[in-house]
Amino acid sequence: MIRFEVIDATFNLRRKNAIKNWINEIILSKNRKTGSVNYLFASDDYVLDVNRQYLGHDYYTDIITFDTSGYGTISPGKKPENILSADIVISLDTVLANSSTYGTTFSAELYRVMAHGILHLLDFDDHTELERARMRDAEDQALKLLPEFGLGEDQVYHSTK
């Protein structure tokens, strides 16, 4: 099950069912199943607090992905095979700023970041140049699926900063 929640920001995610179907397709395309995936959309300040509290990082970021696939299992630490579960925290402020920096729309950047979090859970990383290129290619492939689900330039966010 995929859920969406907004914390301390004014944002209305549009086309939720279509987005759920799109995310499910990304997961299924890598031979995995969707467990409990929770997207939390928030302000920069909220995400900074999460980054500090749980990761010990003192900087802003667009996304933080917590793999929860092994939580609640009979054997702690052992992930259920092929079932992907996560809590994904996204900074709407940073996504908006990055859309300007990268010369894209808010919708395009938001969908890229949403896919990025899922791809991390599907064993894509972005620490080296080669990993970043592989991640970018996987993101691009995920974004190419958007029209199949009727998704495009449909998301709007206005920062209060």
Question: What's the pLDDT tens digit per position in 28-62?
Answer: 999 999 999 999 999 999 999 999 999 999 999 99
Quote the pLDDT of residue 79: 55
Which residue bears the tokens 């991640």? 135
Please report which confidence band the pLDDT of residue 160 belongs to, taking 50, 70 and 90 as the band edges: confident
Distance set, CA 109 to CA 20, 56, 112 (Å): 17, 26, 5
Please report which confidence band the pLDDT of residue 80 belongs to, taking 50, 70 and 90 as the band edges: low
With pLDDT > 90 as the criterion, what percentage of the chain qualifies? 89
How far, in Å, CA of 55 to CA of 63, rounded? 12
Quote the pLDDT of residue 70: 73
Residues 38, 5 contacting (CB under 8 angstroms): yes
Q: In the predicted model, what is the mean pLDDT of the chain?
A: 93
Residue 82 confidence (pLDDT) above 90: no
Residues 67, 39 contacting (CB under 8 angstroms): no
Quote the pLDDT of residue 51: 95
Both tokens assigned to 53: 């509290």
Residue 120 confidence (pLDDT) above 90: yes
Neighbours of 82 (CB within 10 A): 12
Residues 51, 42 contacting (CB under 8 angstroms): no
Residue 72 confidence (pLDDT) above 60: no
Beta strands at 2-6 and 83-91: parallel, antiparallel or unpaired: unpaired
Quote the pLDDT of residue 52: 96
Distance set, CA 104 to CA 61, 78, 99 (Å): 18, 40, 5
